[in-house]
Amino acid sequence: MPELPEVETVARLIRPGLVGRRITGASVAWKRSIGSQSVSSFVSAVTGARFESIERRAKYIVMSLGERGALVGHLRMTGRMHVEAADWDPGKFAKVRLDLDDGRAFHFIDVRKFGRLEFVRDPAARLADIGPEPLGSEFTAEWLWQALSSRRRALKPLLLDQTFVAGLGNIYVDESLHRSGLHPLCLSNRVSAAQAALLQREIRTVLSEAIEREGSSFDVFYRTPEGNPGSFQHQFRVYGRTGEPCRTCGTPIVRSVVGQRGTHTCPTCQPKPRRARRTAR
């Protein structure tokens, strides 16, 4: 599933082709792509609206239509977004088409049909339960330490929790924890202030580097709106590198399952936490 860097890349690349453009018509080939709204009400809501901004919130792309509301898109596993010439063929997996006033069209394409492009009146309310953005000003070292200290959860499942922090997924949590020297099973309330500061810095560094490389293409599905693969997968230190030497110490990377997610660690750089001893009664 595309994570923050991939979604940010998509938002940045479709933004120039959409902002300022008016929607002159709409068609829906797969109703579930637009959520619970009927096709007729969706078409009515968006036709005539003008795109005012294209932003990312967590793993969502928020396309503001001004006072009307917004289109909120989630790529899920195989969703793609394109702004192309009117006669461009999106193929058999096209789900939603929006005709634009400059003669081009926006296409939402989704092979596995899990993605969504929903019209909402209040996007802030729709995304209200999502945590702070890891690249935003609220995500400070002090905030992270306090937030970790107030919980007693394994680090990886907590960092994957979108109500805790926005946009992180399996790839970038594994990479950030390795760079921080923290094991995914380490309890959050046992992370020191210094460790939290390092983790905060490495999360931001990993995400920024991944955005510069237009995300990670570890399968055939993720491509940018220009049709190009991302390249951050060539920088992975642990993710998907089971049995390969750690780029820091040379120890073979191991794969385990944490919180039902495939997890990659270096046993030397990320020592597994010891279990707390039970107090004898």
* Span 192-207, pLDDT tens digits: 999 999 999 999 999 9
- Catalytic site includes residue 229: no
Beta strand 79-85 with 94-100: parallel, antiparallel or unpaired?
Answer: unpaired
Instruction: State the catalytic residue, choosing from 21, 56, 59, 179.
Output: 59
CATH number of 4-126, picked from 3.20.190.10, 3.40.640.10, 3.40.50.280, 3.40.50.11890: 3.20.190.10
Burial 117-148 (b: 16+ CB within 10 A, else e): bbbbeebeebbeebbbbbbeeebeeeebbebb
Residues of the chain with CATH 1.10.8.50: 141-265
Q: What is the pLDDT of residues 36-84, one digit of tens each?
A: 999 999 999 999 999 999 999 999 999 999 999 999 999 998 999 999 9
Residue 225 among the catalytic residues: no
Is residue 276 scored above 60 in pLDDT?
A: no
Q: Which residue has the tokens 């049709």?
A: 227
> Computed over its alpha carbons, how large is the radius of gyration of the chain?
21
CATH fold of 141-265: Helicase, Ruva Protein; domain 3 (1.10.8)
Is 84 among the catalytic positions?
Answer: no
| Residue 3 bears catalytic tag | yes
Question: How much is the average pLDDT of 245-270?
Answer: 97
Q: Is the pTM of this model over 0.85?
A: yes
Q: Of 204, 261, 267, 273, which residue is the catalytic one? A: 261
3-state secondary structure of 50: strand
Where in the chain do CATH 3.20.190.10 domains reside?
Answer: 4-126
pLDDT in tens, 140-189: 999 999 999 999 999 999 999 999 999 999 999 999 999 999 999 999 99
The active-site residue, picked from 3, 6, 118, 175, is: 3
The dihedrals phi and psi of 139, each to the nearest 5 degrees, come to: -85, 75
